[in-house]
Amino acid sequence: MTRDSRSKEPRKKGGLGRGLEALFEDEPQVQEAEEVQELDLGDIRPNPYQPRKRFDDKSLKELSDSIKENGVFQPIIVRESVNGYEIIAGERRFRASKLAKKMTIPAIIRKFNESQMMEVAVLENLQREDLTPLEEAQAYEMLQKNLGLTQEEVSKRMGKSRPYIANYLRLLTLPSKTKRLLQHGELSMGQARTLLSLKDKEKIDALAKRVVKEGMPVRKVEAVVNELNAKKPRSKKTAKKSAFIRASESQLANKFGSSVNISETQKGKGHLSIDFASTEELNRILDLLGVDLDG
């Protein structure tokens, strides 16, 4: 029997802020014994703030088989919406029930606002350890943006330290290919965090691919990153100037009595710069060019 089909409470991670129970207790209408109703699955929609993007097919099939045999022991929690109901907690049971070809599911209806919906969606998944590191990072970002919270406020709500929240949010700055490796579990949280310290950000994707291919432990990733960061970047070779450009620079320098630089950006186009050290010198160059600013 799978965890969600049992009546006992799921295992919790320590110190998750107020926790799910505290959020539920905030509602004055919630009593010790609440009415469990059988709701049509067709009237129920997932929590719009659900941070989990991927549901394990094998685990879902196991739960579905258990529901076929024993039913749903633990009701899902929903709130009324304009068209039916939205899930507050229990999306796996909802999905597994649909997979089991059930028509209804036991549910408890509660009045939750948008803020509570978001918090419960994150807390429920964190307590069940169902989120990937990237999904957890996106969940914290969602709380920040949608509720206008600071990192410090998110950390208090979730019962985590501010550096913990900050480290997860940093994962969102990874390039897209590396994010995909992290999301699919090919890259660990520790490996991803180490890659973030690579100075040349353009090399992160390539190194992440190498880390996965070679199965590098975090210590090895750290060593490779430190080695790459210690290397001095190769200085870009300046394009060799043609004899015509060099001669033109020399003649103009003689004419203006100042250093002149001509650089070609593409065929037929380029930049001409004349150095001056003072306003007087600039006025002298303008006179030589026949530029009358007073005229």
56-90, pLDDT tens digit by residue?
A: 788 888 888 888 888 888 898 888 888 889 988 88
Cβ(194)–Cβ(222) below 8 Å: yes
207-213 average pLDDT score = 94
pLDDT at site 127: 67
The amino acid present at 283, given as its one-letter code, is: N
Cα–Cα distance list, 205 to 156, 195, 219, 248 (Å): 33, 9, 18, 45
More confident position, 1 or 146 = 146
List of E strands, the chain: 37-40, 44-45, 76-81, 84-89, 104-109, 260-266, 269-274
Q: Where are the domains of the chain?
A: 3-113, 175-228, 243-264+273-289
Say yes or no to pLDDT of 94 above 60.
yes
In tens, the pLDDT along 18-45 reads 444 444 444 434 445 578 889 999 999 8
Predicted confidence band at 5 (pLDDT cuts at 50, 70, 90)? very low
Rounded Cα distance between 195 and 207, Å, is: 8
* 163 token code pair: 């550096």
Rounded Cα distance between 131 and 123, Å, is: 10
Give the count of beta carbons closer than 10 Å to the beta carbon of residue 156.
16
Cβ(151)–Cβ(144) below 8 Å: yes
We find that the CATH architecture of domain 3-113 is Alpha-Beta Complex (3.90)
Catalytic residue among 69, 80, 91, 214: 91
Cα–Cα distance list, 278 to 250, 252, 253, 274, 289 (Å): 21, 19, 17, 12, 17
Rounded Cα distance between 290 and 295, Å, is: 11
Cβ(195)–Cβ(207) below 8 Å: yes
Average pLDDT, the chain: 79
Known catalytic residue: 280? no
pLDDT at site 238: 62
114-142 average pLDDT score = 78
* Total-model pTM: 0.54
pLDDT at site 257: 66
Cβ(97)–Cβ(153) below 8 Å: no
In tens, the pLDDT along 168-191 reads 999 999 999 999 999 888 999 999
Radius of gyration of the chain (CA): 31
